[in-house]
Chain A
Amino acid sequence: MRDFIQHVVDAASVGSLYALIALGIAVIFGVMRLANFAHSQLIVIGAYAFLIFKGAPWVVIVAGSLVLAIVLGLAMERVAFRPLRSADASTLFIASFAVASLIENVMNATVGSQAKSVPTPTGLSRSVDIFGVSVPVLSIVMVVVTALLGATFATFLRRTSLGIQMRAAAEDFEMTRLLGVKANKVIALAFAISGLLAGVVGVFLVAQLGVLTPTMGLEPVIVGFVATVLGGMESLGAAALGGFAVGALSVALQVALPIELRPFRDAFVFGLVLLILVIRPQGLLVVKSAKERIT
């Protein structure tokens, strides 16, 4: 039982990380059909705030993370993705790889490609005892922050004018524009939200690992893609749920797989993507407006 609770805690904290990434990817996919692989670099820049603002109070560093990630998100939208807005989804996907490569190599050239360790708040690495299970404070913070962000985001989408414009744009972008919604504003907003979420993920990753590398965002984002495919992009809530599902799945596989197959755990997680796509060949990514209409 104690083991089980331990695993649930693990799954929840890993899952919240993936949920935040999946949300960040889905919010952009919704408005412009871009599966943004460069999301990984938004996370990385958020993490590197720990190096850039080294020595400053933690509040400043975390704020720096979020601001940097948001600014980079807006910048990539303005420079790379806005001119490509009418391109098809696959071209956008290639472009996002190029953007990721561009930023990664700029970082290699400026801060270097080797891993750098940075100090992290000591309070987070402690553990507390809950019902005899030792739970890292960081896990609790991650789950709570994710829940709060999710709730705030959901309220924003439902209650505010901008949020409703975003939901409308995700439903049918052309129609929304015809009704007077500013495309540039909605898309820039989506990138800002995506950047904010990526910044949070960056902070969590550093707090977890204590080490920075220009490629540290890669694997979480790849798993985040799995989560978005799993949950589907039709609703942001589903994408976030997909994140928790992938977290649970990877912990479950880690426990359940025989030792000799454990190194292949990720292959099973990615295999799940293929399986889903094969079972639902139309893909979970199909949004109502993305379906081909024969005219």
Chain B
Amino acid sequence: MAATGHAADPVAPARRASRARLGGLVRYLQTPVILSVIVIAVAIIAPAINGPLTPTTIVFLVNVIVVLGLSVFVGNSGVVSFGHISFMALGAYVWTLLTIPTQIKHTLYPDMPGWLAGMHASVLGATFIALACAGLAGLVVGVFLGRLNGIAASIGTFALLLIVQVVLSNWDAVTNGTVPLTGAPSEPTVSKALVWTVVAIFVAYVFRESRSGLRLRASREDEAASAAIGVNVFKERVIALAISGAIVGVAGVLYADFLGSIYPGVFYLDITLITLAMLVVGGIRSVSGAVIGCLFISVIVELFDRAEQGVDVFGGTVKTPPGVTQIVVAAVILAALIVRPAGLTKGNEIGFKSVRVRRRQRTAADNV
């Protein structure tokens, strides 16, 4: 596509080809670059406008990573998973358990089994171990549930979320049950979260555009037809679920790092609903949709959270009763599903089209 030049072009063919390749690369990378710039800009500008907003910024970035991870599987395969927060929980618990210093484990958690109490890893090392565990978990879940479609898949993955919740809440010796698990070296920074967010953006985008991603998207549009042209739908889903699990696992690590102490309730229905809503509101079919939806819902949450604390309007303080934020968010999700089912981005990626692409689209539209 990018290699078609004008015959009258005075540039030598070899240089023309290399320039076209470069143009193709620029066009290929523009979406993830623009998205990264948006996210970085938000992370820098938001605190500048609103004062110290570091916590909200990190939560926003964690949500972006979760939603990007979701979009790798849900967006490309069209199978809506309600179990992805399990991977987040896994990442968070693995990281926390590995980074709590051994002496603290002995004093705070005397019941912890010896093999676990003796284990320790550096913050970064534990991050990668958590990533690998979550990715592996995604692979295993994919092997078991990869053949499910539609509502059966949604309920199956939901059952997974419930199982993880029950296990985390009751495996007292390891997870400390429903009591918060503390003691991990918590040093959350916006820049750390930003680095992982940008990585997640690129991974999600490159996967979407890869052969595997294309095959998966083909199966989303028509499973039978894609299988007929040789797509192994099951295999592609397993691959996507592993990558997606790993990304969501990293988000779990960052969230645990941010919270300092974690308990099972953090990784349950509320966060499942809000991240799925972000994905759907933004547009399930594109990476841009994941980021835009996240930004949209986060801004609403932030605005109404502020209103709950009281906002000065014309000298008087307006204060909304507590709980209004959740009500508004739920209403926005419903409204978005009804009014704009394809999402804010309608499944398109953000980017500048070259003049040639635009001209071709215009002629194509005219010919219809």
Interface residues of A (CB under 8 A from B): 33, 35, 80, 83-84, 87-91, 93-95, 97-99, 101-102, 105-106, 108-109, 218, 222, 225-226, 229, 263-264, 266-267, 270-271, 273-274, 277-278, 281-286, 290, 292, 294
| CA distance in complex: A99, B144 (Å) | 30
| B330 near A105: Cβ-Cβ < 8 Å | yes
Tell me how far the C-beta of B344 lies from the nearest C-beta in chain A, rounded to whole angstroms.
15
Min CB distance B269 to A, Å, is: 8
Cα separation A271 to B156 with both chains bound (whole Å) = 9
B10 at the interface (CB under 8 A from A): no
Q: Which B255-289 residues have a C-beta within 8 angstroms of A?
A: 269-270, 272-273, 276-277, 280
B170 contacts chain A at the CB level, 8 A cutoff: yes
A274 touches B337 (CB 8 A): no
Which residues of B are interface residues toward A (Cβ below 8 A)? 79-80, 82, 144-145, 147-156, 158-160, 162-163, 166-167, 170-171, 223-224, 269-270, 272-273, 276-277, 280, 321-324, 326-327, 329-331, 333-334, 337-338, 341
- Consensus secondary structure, chain A interface: helix
Partner among B145, B148, B155, B321 whose Cβ is within 8 Å of the Cβ of A225: B155
Whether A87 lies near B341 (C-beta < 8 A) is: yes
B187 to chain A, nearest CB (A): 33
Task: Tell me how far the C-beta of A249 lies from the nearest C-beta in chain B, rounded to whole angstroms.
Answer: 14
Q: Which 4 A-B pairs have the closest CB atoms?
A: A283-B152, A90-B80, A102-B330, A263-B170
Q: Are B322 and A274 in contact (CB under 8 A)?
A: no
Residues of B within 8 A of A270 (CB): 159, 162-163, 166
Alpha-carbon gap, A33 to B156, bound state (A):
16
Q: A87-B337, A98-B334 are in contact. Are A93 and B159 (CB under 8 A)?
A: no
A98 touches B337 (CB 8 A): yes
Bound Cα distance from A108 to B308, whole angstroms? 15
The smallest C-beta distance from B53 to any residue of chain A, in angstroms, reads 24
Q: A267-B167, A273-B156, A285-B155 are in contact. Are A98 and B277 (CB under 8 A)?
A: yes
A97 neighbours in B (Cβ, 8 Å): 269, 272-273, 276
Give the nearest-CB partner of B169 in chain A: A263
Asked whether A95 lies within 8 Å of B337 as measured between CB atoms, the reply is yes
Assembled-state Cα–Cα distance A33/B149 (Å): 14
**Contacting pair A109 B330 (CB below 8 A):** no
- Asked if B321 and A109 sit within 8 Å, CB to CB, the answer is yes
What are the residues of chain A within 8 A of B277 when measuring CB–CB?
A: 94, 98
> B334 touches which one: A80, A108, A294 (CB < 8 A)?
A80
Asked if A294 and B152 sit within 8 Å, CB to CB, the answer is no
B151 is contacted by which of A108, A274, A285 (Cβ under 8 Å)?
A285
Which of B145, B160, B224, B331 touches A102 (beta carbons < 8 Å)?
B331
Contacts of B270 in A (CB 8 A): 101
Which of B80, B152, B158, B270 has the most chain A CB within a 10 Å cutoff? B152
CA separation between A270 and B147, bound complex, in Å?
Answer: 19
- Take A84-B337, A99-B334, A282-B152 as given contacts and tell me if A274 and B160 are in contact as well, using a CB distance cutoff of 8 Å: yes
- Given known pairs A80-B334, A84-B338, A222-B162, the reply for A229 and B167 (CB within 8 Å) is no
B166 touches A109 (CB 8 A): no
Q: Establish whether residues B147 and A281, one from each chain, have CB atoms under 8 Å apart when the complex forms.
A: yes
Contact, CB under 8 Å: B80 / A277: no
* Most-contacted residue by chain A among B272, B329, B330 (CB, 10 A): B330
**Residue in contact with B337 in the complex, picked from A89, A91, A222, A277, CB distance below 8 Å:** A91
Least Cβ–Cβ distance between B159 and chain A, in angstroms:
4
Beta-carbon contact of A90 and B224 below 8 Å: no
Complex CA distance for A229 and B151, rounded to whole angstroms:
11
Chain B's closest residue to A91 (CB) is B337
A213 to B244, CA, bound (A): 36
Does B159 lie within 8 Å of A91, measured CB to CB?
A: no
Cα(A95)–Cα(B339), bound, Å: 13
**Chain A positions within 8 Å of B149 at CB level:** 283
